Amino acid sequence: MEKLSLNQITTKSWSLPEAVRGCAESGVEWIAFWRDKVAEVGVDEAARLVKDHGLRVSSLCRGGFFTGVTPDGSPVDGVADTRVAIDEAARLGAEVLVLVVGGIADNNLVRSRQLVADAVEELVPLALDRGVRLGLEPLHPMQCAERSVLSTLDQALAIAEPYPAEAVGVVVDEFHVWWDPRIEDLIAKAAGRIAGFHVCDQLVPLTDTLLGRALPGDGPIDHRRLRSCVEAAGYDGPIEVEVFNADLWARPGDEVLAETIQAYRTHVA
Amino acid sequence: MEKLSLNQITTKSWSLPEAVRGCAESGVEWIAFWRDKVAEVGVDEAARLVKDHGLRVSSLCRGGFFTGVTPDGSPVDGVADTRVAIDEAARLGAEVLVLVVGGIADNNLVRSRQLVADAVEELVPLALDRGVRLGLEPLHPMQCAERSVLSTLDQALAIAEPYPAEAVGVVVDEFHVWWDPRIEDLIAKAAGRIAGFHVCDQLVPLTDTLLGRALPGDGPIDHRRLRSCVEAAGYDGPIEVEVFNADLWARPGDEVLAETIQAYRTHVA
């Protein structure tokens, strides 16, 4: 249990204060925040709540969108927004700022990927200054066009490599990388760079590219195998359970958290 | 135009005789068949129609499902079914039998992959005997659980490598591999093994994991770049336009074929 972190998207019906209180009452020592939930109470109040309840913040979701477009096609200055997010992460005491790098701009995949590398270069000094680690998270290839031109772990490692490991790491999220035939080798290659390990399962059939996820144990992902790879690569930090699932989101947070803890114990720990 | 092949799934509203006639009348010299459409008229009649209209068959879709389950979870003897498909391909004069290898059985990804390698080993002698090339087609990672534990081109090459190139090749289908950061290198590595090149585009947003495809030009895929990679790797065979799209399927075949030819000329050739 001591490594379990509740990524608060899993208990989406809960406000931030409710999620913090829920974790504290259930013996969950870590929590991962989303910026929209933080904004509802303010950064300083969120930081105070975490401290008062004796929790630690595994990560803040999220910065990124460096290709200049959001998933619905609206323009965004991802670098400027991520500067703000780095500041928020520092104030929250979050160890990692998760980056969702952005989808394809102007139907140009090659240039979009370059924009991501350029943005990381630009943000590293601020990240080092604020003591926040940037977590490059490869997203599933089905999200390449809309959300993330960063699709595989070795691609993330190549972007991170020029910088100190404390400035830029990679986030291993099972949903996004479990299918990769090279995943064991790639996780081993990521030794020293792993900034987070996120677990969930994939629904079968997969009918929704974003919400087709489930609690660990309800799909084909071998969580213990992937956890052992991540640990063999030297990662001993928190393990976030992060589930995008409309049915789960519609249910009361306390029920969902109880099931999350049970699923973690049965299939991950 | 001389390399364009109509994969008949694109004009799904057409019967096989209609598709053959449509190609002949439009100057399309190649066609790719699906076994359900062949079965409606019989293998020998399909072969006669092709010959009478002066067409060539680029591929037959499909054998596979070696993990023993269909996408809807029903049991299937994929090896036995593929033996029949090899025979059909030979009688049709199809250069390639496309293989969709099957999804995950019993939630065991490692064993499912082994079943695929075992099945290919078992089928190679028959393929050589009948002069049919087995085409291992990596499918998009979002189809890993239900349709294909073969997800990347290098994974397909590793399975093909022990066998003669005329017995086992790999099929490069843009929809399935375009997102791969290593795709240029992997296509180069596939030199001598490329048994087919399938083109289409990806719809954005991607709302359907199977049908989220479009004619070339209606999405983010850079067809000329991928075609030049495939050609640089020595492939000079037919180029199939293969589109799974419910709107297209609902329309008259002659309209769809005309748009297919136009899209191919504008974005691929």
Tens of pLDDT, residue by residue over B108-148, are 999 999 999 999 999 999 999 999 999 999 999 999 999 99
The answer to whether B151 touches B78, Cβ cutoff 8 Å, is no
Q: Which residues of B touch A145 (CB under 8 A)?
A: 179, 202, 204-206, 219-220
Give the per-residue pLDDT at A146: 97
Using CB atoms, which residue from A71, A179, A222 is nearest to B144?
A: A179
Q: Residues near A152 by Cβ (< 8 Å), separated by ≥ 6? A: A138, A177, A180, A186, B180, B181, B182
Give the per-residue pLDDT at B115: 98
Nearest of B151, B219, B269 to residue A109 by alpha carbon: B219
What count of CB pairs under 8 Å joins A to B?
81
B interface mutation test: which of A112, A142, A176, A201 has the most B CBs within 10 A? A142
pLDDT tens for each residue of B158-188: 999 999 999 999 999 999 999 999 999 999 9
For B218, nearest residue in chain A (alpha carbons) = A107
Q: How confident is the model at residue B83 (pLDDT cuts 50, 70, 90)?
A: very high
B interface mutation test: which of A69, A152, A179 has the most B CBs within 10 A? A179
Tokens found for residue B112: 């499912």
Question: What does DSSP say about strands A201-202 and A213-214: parallel, antiparallel, or unpaired?
Answer: antiparallel
- Say if the Cβ atoms of B140 and A144 lie within 8 Å: no
CA-atom Rg of chain B in angstroms: 17
DSSP tag of A227: H
Rounded Cα distance between A245 and A250, Å, is 9
Amino acid of residue B78: G
A265 cis-preceded (ω within 30 degrees of 0): no
- Say if the Cβ atoms of B145 and A209 lie within 8 Å: no
B138 cis-preceded (ω within 30 degrees of 0): no
Rounded Cα distance between A209 and A206, Å, is 7
- Say if the Cβ atoms of A222 and B109 lie within 8 Å: yes
On average, the pLDDT of chain B sits at 98
Q: What mean pLDDT do residues B202-223 have?
A: 97
Q: What mean pLDDT do residues B49-59 have?
A: 98
- Say if the Cβ atoms of A152 and B180 lie within 8 Å: yes
DSSP tag of B139: P
ipTM of the complex: 0.96
The answer to whether A251 touches A209, Cβ cutoff 8 Å, is no
Q: Is A54 on the interface with B (CB under 8 A)?
A: no
Tokens found for residue A252: 């009361």
A interface mutation test: which of B204, B208, B211, B222 has the most A CBs within 10 A? B204
Whole-number Cα distances in Å, B173 to B13, B143, B169, B230: 22, 14, 13, 11
Q: How confident is the model at residue B241 (pLDDT cuts 50, 70, 90)?
A: very high
Q: What is the domain partition of chain A in residue ranges?
A: 4-267
CA-atom Rg of chain A in angstroms: 17
- Within chain B, where are the H helices? 16-26, 35-41, 43-52, 78-92, 109-130, 153-160, 174-177, 183-189, 223-232, 246-249, 253-267
Buried b (16+ CB within 10 A) or exposed e, A8-26: bbbbbebebebbbbbbbeb
Rounded Cα distance between A2 and B210, Å, is 41
Q: Is B205 on the interface with A (CB under 8 A)?
A: yes
Rounded Cα distance between B140 and B175, Å, is 7
In this structure, what are the phi and psi dihedrals at residue B169, rounded to the nearest 5 degrees? -120, -175
Using CB atoms, which residue from A154, A180, A206 is nearest to B146?
A: A206
How many degrees, rounded to 5, is the angle at CA A131 between CA A166 and CA A83?
Answer: 105
Rounded Cα distance between A209 and A216, Å, is 17
CA quadruple A193, A131, A64, A214: dihedral sign: positive
Q: Which residues of B touch A109 (CB under 8 A)?
A: 178-179, 220, 222
Classified as helix, coil or strand, A253 is helix
DSSP tag of B141: G
Tokens found for residue A253: 């947070």
Side-chain-side CA neighbours of A228 within 13 Å: the count stands at 4
Rounded Cα distance between B220 and B178, Å, is 9
Q: What fold is seen in the domain A4-267?
A: TIM Barrel (3.20.20)
User: What stretches in chain A show pLDDT beneath 70?
Assistant: none
At how many degrees (to 10) do helices A253-267 and A16-26 cross?
Answer: 50
Q: Which residues of A touch B219 (CB under 8 A)?
A: 107, 145
Using CB atoms, which residue from A71, A151, A222 is nearest to B179?
A: A151
Residue with tokens 């296509």: B187
Give the per-residue pLDDT at B219: 96
Q: Is B220 on the interface with A (CB under 8 A)?
A: yes
Residue with tokens 């060539």: B56
**Beta strands, E only, A66-220:** 96-100, 133-136, 168-173, 194-199, 201-202, 213-214
Give the per-residue pLDDT at A7: 98
Q: Which residues of A touch B107 (CB under 8 A)?
A: 219-220, 222
The answer to whether B69 touches B76, Cβ cutoff 8 Å, is yes
Query: Which H/E stretch holds residue A90?
Result: helix A78-92
Give the per-residue pLDDT at B155: 98
Rounded Cα distance between B29 and B52, Å, is 12
> In chain B, what percentage of residues exceed pLDDT 90?
100
